[in-house]
Amino acid sequence: MSPAGFRISQVASVFLAVFAALSVQAAELELPDSLALQSGQRVTSARGWQEERRPEILELFRANVYGRAPIGRPGDLKFDATETTPDAMDGMATRKQVKISFSGPGGQGAIHLILFVPNGAHKPAPCTLLICNRPPTNIDPTRAVKSPFWPAEQIVARGYSAATFYIADVAPDVSGAWTKGVHAMFDPPQRAADAWGTVAAWAWGASRCMDYLVSDPDIDARRVVVVGHSRGGKTALWAGAEDERFAMVVSNDSGCTGAAVARGKTGERVADINRVFPHWFCKNYKRFNDREAELPIDQHMLAALIAPRLLYIASASLDRGADPSHEFLAAVQATPVYRLLGLSGLTVTEMPAPEFPLHDGSIGYHIHTGKHDLTEYDWKCFMDFADRHLVTRPKSAP
Ligand code: GCU
């Protein structure tokens, strides 16, 4: 078989496997009910969701999965514009670099935000904030190196500001590095079983970037989209759950403990992720190794925490580890919460073929052909969806 033929049949077989997996009904998986309070009562109104069930679910995720951030916005948070270049990208954008600094009992730190604001566009401009989990060459502010992981020129050309930060500014991606980054600054000497893991720390960093963005008059703070890929996608979802200022959340290939429903998931499972990346989540999460059915939540409920805001979940056809069918399932299973709030959620329940994005409802979804990656095609889809639902919304919308 030709290499191309092999690739096509490989893609087709993975897609069939995905499709077969989807036939496993959510009911068979016995997913916890997003709308049933721990008391057993069900919430039946938007108010019941917002005031009772949502806080309960958020708390369950803090206690059992991502851990609890010891601090919100530090009192001494400071923004220093280290650079402003009005004619970046051949005059297309203004580049700003901002040092976001803070301190805690254990020391001080800073996040270096890179931001391109489109020059031609109507101001304030909507903004995408990428949580960058890949080497900083992927977010080169000089644009000497251009990466499809962050196609800043295309983002700006579509009228969006392009902002990003590198996760290691917040906390290193290293197991047991509690003496570094924000953990060293803010954690008490004894780490509790529900102390924040590194994913929650990165999400906290995204919120500090948001603190800056709301202060910048060039940015439309009511239209900020937080975007993350893989571990960055897990982080984007948690950032959106914890911080309701993000108007849209994009999870690309976030898989295990991201968008993918854990019960019945194939590929990477809770025990795997806790073994290989023990620092990402809180200690309590280890209790659910090989015991997903005992989790008081599942990842469709993390997706539901984004409601009534816009949610976008994206998958890649060859991403067996992440399990696209279970990423899609989270979008389907978050929909009842959107519906309770008078929104459409996802408008279909069947997984689309690759390159057939679902953009009709307030939850968007697509699967791209190929491997685990964040590509220009993915970005195009996110912006198509945002053009349709975020940018055209009335000013008073949430
Ligand atoms: C590993 C990990 C995944 C994660 C991915 C990434 O593959 O097992 O859970 O999403 O790294 O961040 O690229």
Cα gap 204→295, rounded to integer Å: 24
Going by pLDDT thresholds of 50, 70 and 90, the confidence category of residue 396 is very low
What distance in angstroms lies between residue 119's CA and the mean position of ligand 1's atoms? 36
Confidence check: pLDDT of 16 > 70: no
For residue 111, CA distances in Å to 284, 335, 336 come to: 28, 35, 37
Cα gap 160→180, rounded to integer Å: 34
pTM here?
Answer: 0.93
Q: Which of 66, 132, 230 to mutate to test the pocket of ligand 1 (most atoms within 8 A of CB)?
A: 230
What distance in angstroms lies between residue 169's CA and the mean position of ligand 1's atoms? 19
Q: What would the pLDDT profile of 337-359 be if each residue is shown by its tens digit?
A: 999 999 999 999 999 999 999 99
Q: What would the pLDDT profile of 189-214 be if each residue is shown by its tens digit?
A: 899 999 999 999 999 999 999 999 99
Cα gap 179→270, rounded to integer Å: 25
SS3 state at 124: coil
The ligand 1 atom at the shortest distance from the C-alpha of residue 257 is 9
Per-residue pLDDT at 23: 44
Confidence check: pLDDT of 250 > 60: yes
Q: What would the pLDDT profile of 147-195 be if each residue is shown by its tens digit?
A: 999 999 999 999 999 999 999 999 999 998 899 999 999 999 899 999 9
Residues in the chain: 398
Direct distance between the N- and C-terminal alpha carbons of the chain, in angstroms, rounded to an integer? 53
Decide if 361 contacts 341 (C-beta within 8 A): no
- Residue nearest to ligand 1 atom 9, measured at CA: 256
Average pLDDT, stretch 101-109?
97
Token couple for 91: 């005059």
